[in-house]
């Protein structure tokens, strides 16, 4: 262990105290990232709903339903914000379209003939979407983007979100909204309400991956001049690596008037990558230097391509230096990433094991049903989400206390019903609790379902915290890392600072003496076991966000939990924390060169050897209590 402890920081991150840095980072993310994520999600929706898309507004009064249809799209991604803009910004940037701005709201007929003759007509392009062939549809997307029509971005967004349908009888392109058994349709171009049709009378326009890419690029080009910096940023990022002269000209133009630093960076990157193909060697050197230190994969790949084909010595030298610099930064980022992965795996182990640290570590009960208590916590989350389907984002805050109570009650019942008759007989406790674990599994199978159930992730748990282009930490893992620490310290406080904690420690150290002092040991036993079980339930809430929730899920964690507790030292909470995090990091350090299967085996072998040397684990309990 001593070896590993020294090694982890050295390999994981170059600096001392990196563990604390990572923790601080995680806490920071919780503080900053949480509200931020919630905020964006919150802002998007109202914006999207406000938006009476220009052409549709005429029909809006006639059919309020369909209007909602366009805007309803799950506005949970930042990208959806683009939807709000398209009409105005696109026109602002496009002088040719300016006259339309005035009468954009009135019916379509006016706007259609307006654009220059060379431009493909939006109507024709949209009609082509009804074709079955993806090639035709791809062309249609390109035509829509090139039409210069202000409605194009809107329609492309709807296409991407899967809201455009083909009406089967006349091949009209429509917006469709579920209405009873069928759809309520609105013409996509004119915005006329077309009434309701059966489920089989309209088919969704399917798009494939290549089209999705094309649609996104088209939307990016149409929204590069958006007043919203976030939209401009995603548009500019989408255009990184483009070689299209029109797009580059647009980027140049935007750069001149851009005032947002991040957008400027992204545009600069796109232009620099294009600049690598410049005629003059000096221009190429300048481009190479502009790319120096950039962590975007596109920058690195562009440099690689350049190094492969470059003739000019000076350019080559600059490119090599720039490339080496990038590689070094990437290496550092990768180390931080591995450390984070290890800590996050460790935090899952800690969460799973910490309840066991109470029941097994403090009370000495070998509880084979520990995994099933975790499962009960996870199922509680599922039931809570079923009860509040419209507030998934908040469901976890309800689920945590609920899971604690439910699993805790199960724990008390198990202790009162079975375990209290078996104290001091570990073999029988083991068998009995194993039986209980089977009963609990079967209970879930018969009452809920033998299949896995869906537990949804709240929106603030999805996605990742982008620290730089090469390093992003996923939110769910960050939160669970922080959550594990919170649970750990809360438990520590309970044991160290409360009357119950004092009694628990007293009973576990010397039952007879504690009873002589007036502690009701039977009640304390039940509460302690309930506490351990409740913590297992809380762990189940966290695990439901990471893995499958099914009747067997507890089985996957029981071995790991015992491993962590034994390794950390029975009866010592700190040992559990350190052991869990250490095993997590060790596992992740090994994984790249041994593979997931072998890494797990090696960790197990290591623990067996370690226990041979130090049977009482990392932090053995000392004194008479430990010898008893």
Q: Where are the alpha helices (DSSP H) in 448-520?
A: 475-497, 499-509, 511-516
Could you say which DSSP state residue 14 is in? S
Considering only residues 32, 387, 596, 605, which one is a binding residue for other proteins as defined by CB under 8 A?
Answer: 596
N- to C-terminal Cα distance for the chain?
A: 26
521-560 mask for other proteins (x: CB under 8 A)?
Answer: -------------------------xxx-x-x---x----
Interface size with other proteins, residues (CB under 8 A): 61
CB burial class (10 A; 0-12, 13-18, 19+) of residue 417? exposed
Which CB atom, from 137 or from 505, has the smaller least distance to other proteins? 137
CB of 254 to other proteins, least distance (A): 24
**Residues with Cβ within 8 Å of residue 320, at least 6 apart in sequence:** 307
Binding to other proteins (CB under 8 A) within 74-93 occurs at 74
Element (H, E) at 222: helix 209-223
Contact 380, 406 (CB under 8 A): yes
Q: How far is CA 445 from CA 132, 187, 536, 550, 553, in A?
A: 44, 48, 20, 9, 12
CB of 432 to other proteins, least distance (A): 6
Q: If binding is defined by CB under 8 A, does position 427 make contact with other proteins?
A: yes
Q: If binding is defined by CB under 8 A, does position 171 make contact with other proteins?
A: no
CB burial class (10 A; 0-12, 13-18, 19+) of residue 375? buried
Q: Would you tell me how many other CB atoms lie within 10 Å of the CB of residue 216?
A: 18
Q: If binding is defined by CB under 8 A, does position 588 make contact with other proteins?
A: yes
Q: Where are the alpha helices (DSSP H) in 78-133?
A: 81-84, 87-93, 98-102, 122-128
Which CB atom, from 388 or from 438, has the smaller least distance to other proteins? 438
Q: If binding is defined by CB under 8 A, does position 477 make contact with other proteins?
A: yes
Which residues, listed in sequence order, are joined to residue 197 by a DSSP beta bridge? Answer: 183
CB of 491 to other proteins, least distance (A): 24
Which CB atom, from 206 or from 498, has the smaller least distance to other proteins? 206
Q: If binding is defined by CB under 8 A, does position 345 make contact with other proteins?
A: yes
Which CB atom, from 340 or from 404, has the smaller least distance to other proteins? 340
Q: What would you measure as the largest C-alpha separation in the chain, in angstroms?
A: 99
**Residues with Cβ within 8 Å of residue 83, at least 6 apart in sequence:** 48, 51, 71, 73, 75, 154, 157
271-300 mask for other proteins (x: CB under 8 A)?
Answer: --------------------------x--x
Considering only residues 210, 496, 523, 614, which one is a binding residue for other proteins as defined by CB under 8 A?
Answer: 210
Residue 174 main-chain phi, psi, to 5 deg: -135, 155
3-state secondary structure of 473: strand
Which CB atom, from 297 or from 501, has the smaller least distance to other proteins? 297
Q: If binding is defined by CB under 8 A, does position 338 make contact with other proteins?
A: yes
Of 285-293, 397-405, 457-465, 525-533: span binding other proteins (CB under 8 A) = 457-465
Binding to other proteins (CB under 8 A) within 301-320 occurs at 301, 304-305
Considering only residues 248, 278, 383, 431, which one is a binding residue for other proteins as defined by CB under 8 A?
Answer: 431
377-416 mask for other proteins (x: CB under 8 A)?
Answer: ----------------------------------------
Q: How far is CA 63 from CA 155, 186, 598, in A?
A: 19, 9, 62
Q: If binding is defined by CB under 8 A, does position 450 make contact with other proteins?
A: yes
**Residues with Cβ within 8 Å of residue 162, at least 6 apart in sequence:** 204, 205, 207
Considering only residues 591, 603, 618, 619, which one is a binding residue for other proteins as defined by CB under 8 A?
Answer: 591
Q: Which residues bind other proteins (CB under 8 A)?
A: 74, 134, 162, 204, 206, 208-210, 212-213, 216, 297, 300-301, 304-305, 334, 337-338, 341, 344-345, 348, 425, 427-428, 431-432, 435, 438-439, 442, 450-454, 456-457, 462-464, 466, 472, 474-477, 546-548, 550, 552, 556, 588, 591-592, 595-597, 600
């Amino acid at each position: 262990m001593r070896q590993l402890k020294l090694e982890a920081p050295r390999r994981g991150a170059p600096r001392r105290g990196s563990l604390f840095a990572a923790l601080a980072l995680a806490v920071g993310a919780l503080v900053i990232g949480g509200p931020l994520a919630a905020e964006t999600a919150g802002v998007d929706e109202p914006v999207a709903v406000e938006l009476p898309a220009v052409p549709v507004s005429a029909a809006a009064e006639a059919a309020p339903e369909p209007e909602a249809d366009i805007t309803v799209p799950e506005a949970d991604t930042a990208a959806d914000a683009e939807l709000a803009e398209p009409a105005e910004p696109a026109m602002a940037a496009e002088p040719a379209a300016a006259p339309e701005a005035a009468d954009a709201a009135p019916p379509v007929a006016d706007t259609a003939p307006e654009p220059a003759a060379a431009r493909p007509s939006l109507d024709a392009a949209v009609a082509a979407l009804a074709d079955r062939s993806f090639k035709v549809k791809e062309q249609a997307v390109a035509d829509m983007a090139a039409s210069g029509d202000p409605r194009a971005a809107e329609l492309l967004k709807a296409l991407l979100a899967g809201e455009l349908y083909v009406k089967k009888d006349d091949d009209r392109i429509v917006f469709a909204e579920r209405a009873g058994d069928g759809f309520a349709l609105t013409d996509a171009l004119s915005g006329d309400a077309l009434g309701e049709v059966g489920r089989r009378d309209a088919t969704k326009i399917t798009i494939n991956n290549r089209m999705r890419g094309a649609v996104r690029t088209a939307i990016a080009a149409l929204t590069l001049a958006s007043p919203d910096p976030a939209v401009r940023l995603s548009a500019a990022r989408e255009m990184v690596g483009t070689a299209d002269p029109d797009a580059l000209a647009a980027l140049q133009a935007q750069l001149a008037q851009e005032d947002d630093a991040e957008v400027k960076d992204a545009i600069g990157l796109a232009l620099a990558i294009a600049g690598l193909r410049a005629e003059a060697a000096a221009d190429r050197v300048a481009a190479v230097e502009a790319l120096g230190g950039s962590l975007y994969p596109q920058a690195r790949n562009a440099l690689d391509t350049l190094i492969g084909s470059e003739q000019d010595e000076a350019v080559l030298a600059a490119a090599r230096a720039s490339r080496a610099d990038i590689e070094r930064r990437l290496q550092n980022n990768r180390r931080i990433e591995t450390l984070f992965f290890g800590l996050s795996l460790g935090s899952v182990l800690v969460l799973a094991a910490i309840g066991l640290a109470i029941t097994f570590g403090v009370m000495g009960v070998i509880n084979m049903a520990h995994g099933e208590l975790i499962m009960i916590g996870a199922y509680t989350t599922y039931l809570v989400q079923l009860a509040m389907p419209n507030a998934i984002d908040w469901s976890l805050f309800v689920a945590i206390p609920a899971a604690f109570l439910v699993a805790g009650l199960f724990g008390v019942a198990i202790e009162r019903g079975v375990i209290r008759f078996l104290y001091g007989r570990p073999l029988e406790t083991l068998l009995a609790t194993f039986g209980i674990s089977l009963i609990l599994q079967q209970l879930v199978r018969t009452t809920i379902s033998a299949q896995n159930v869906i537990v949804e992730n709240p929106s603030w748990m999805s996605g990742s915290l982008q620290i730089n282009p090469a390093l992003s930490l996923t939110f769910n893992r960050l939160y669970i890392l922080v959550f594990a620490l919170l649970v750990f310290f809360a438990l520590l406080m309970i044991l160290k600072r409360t009357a119950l904690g004092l009694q628990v420690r007293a009973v576990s150290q010397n039952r007879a003496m504690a009873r002589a002092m007036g502690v009701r040991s039977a009640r304390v036993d039940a509460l302690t076991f309930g506490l351990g079980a409740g913590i297992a339930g809380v762990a189940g809430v966290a695990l439901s966000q990471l893995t499958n929730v099914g009747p067997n899920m507890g089985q996957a964690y029981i071995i790991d939990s015992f491993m962590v507790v034994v390794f950390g030292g029975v009866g010592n909470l700190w040992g559990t924390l350190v052991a869990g995090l250490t095993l997590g990091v060790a596992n992740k350090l090994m994984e790249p060169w041994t593979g997931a299967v072998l890494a797990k085996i090696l960790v197990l072998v290591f623990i067996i050897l370690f226990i041979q040397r130090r049977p009482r684990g990392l932090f053995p309990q000392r004194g008479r209590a430990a010898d008893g």
